[in-house]
Amino acid sequence: MRDFVETFDPAAEAPAAPRLLRQRTLKSPIGCSGVGLHSGHTVSMTIRPAADGTGILFRRTDLPRGAQDVAAHWRNVVDTRLATTIGNDAGARVGTIEHLMSAFAGCGVDNAIVELDAAEVPVMDGSAAPFVFLIECAGIAEQRTARRAIKVTRPVVVDDGEKSIAVHPASGFSVSFEIDFASGAIARQSLGLRFMNGSFKTDIARARTFGFEHEVSALREAGLARGGSLDNAVVIRGDTVLNVGGLRYDDEFVRHKILDCIGDLYLAGGPIIGRVEGARSGHALNHKLVVALMTDESAWTYTDRAEEGLPPMGSDHVAEPLASVRA
């Protein structure tokens, strides 16, 4: 009788090593110009590649050295009236960063230097799509350092009357939002998307900012919306959308709220692994959620493991719908 010899392959039995995703930046610089939504000033902007660990850094080229740089970080938010504005201790400010930040988040860009010759990011067409186009034209380069995400470990909720926004533990990243306006052009809209490597480009990026015609005069007297037009915003009169061609999505308004939310949340300093639920939230409440989350160290932990829900949201993938209701 032959002896039975058992063979053992340690490589076959060992658990798979954790899969790490790498930080990403642009392959080459790329630029554009446009008008500032609130300032009305013409702005030239160049997005440049940046080293591992830089994050998103805004650089005001019209200011003296030493006062130019403002990191896109929740601690640097100085204003949330109708847009998100960041600033530094030297007094430099950069406004309306949320659409560009949303594009960076949606394309999975961790590190970039954004050069501007004015105090506001150009609004382009009022969505994130032009910025996604720029990023895709420049190309994305993988870097050596592992990408680090903020994994939510317990619920965090902030509210202000009928407005609220919360983030809950989850295995990936999803956003659910609902809005409710008296105008019949908007009414009540609700949408939820679970970003499985996200279809940001298809489902969210093209949704434009919006406003009401009867509010324009008051906004401009307050120094806001001076660059706003039908070319860069959806404008509503009563129950009617004034833009030729109408809407890009039937529920474009709630999709834009999700776009803004993604950009505001990226100021946490990295992608979030969690389930976000918002009701009538805007920039101010979005920022309060980030502050509440990041200042409570018991509510989150860092992870660089893809298995814990850290995929890039890049535009070459798809998103899974959670729900879509329009009434």
Mapping DSSP onto H, E and C, the string for 134-191 reads HHHHHCEEEEEEECCEEEECCCEEEEECCEEEEEECCCCEEEEEEEECCCCCCCEEEE
Distances (CA, A) of 195 to 19, 248, 278, 309: 19, 20, 16, 10
For 56-109, write each residue's pLDDT tens digit: 999 999 999 999 999 999 999 999 998 999 999 999 999 999 999 999 999 999
CA distance 122 to 97: 9
**All domains in the chain, ordered by first residue:** 22-326 (3.30.1700.10)
Positions annotated as catalytic residues are: 283
Angstrom distances, CA of residue 97 to CA of 36, 163, 170, 228, 324: 11, 22, 27, 16, 27
Task: Count CB-CB contacts under 10 A for residue 19.
Answer: 10
Tokens of 157: 């909720």
For 217-250, how does the pLDDT look when each residue is reduced to its tens digit (9 = 90+)? 777 777 777 888 899 999 999 999 999 999 999 9
| Digit-coded pLDDT (tens) for 250-304 | 999 999 999 999 999 999 999 999 999 999 999 999 999 999 999 999 999 999 9
pTM confidence score: 0.90
Tokens of 248: 């890009």
**Residue pair 313/173 in contact by the 8 Å Cβ criterion:** yes
Rounded CA separation 223/209 (Å): 18
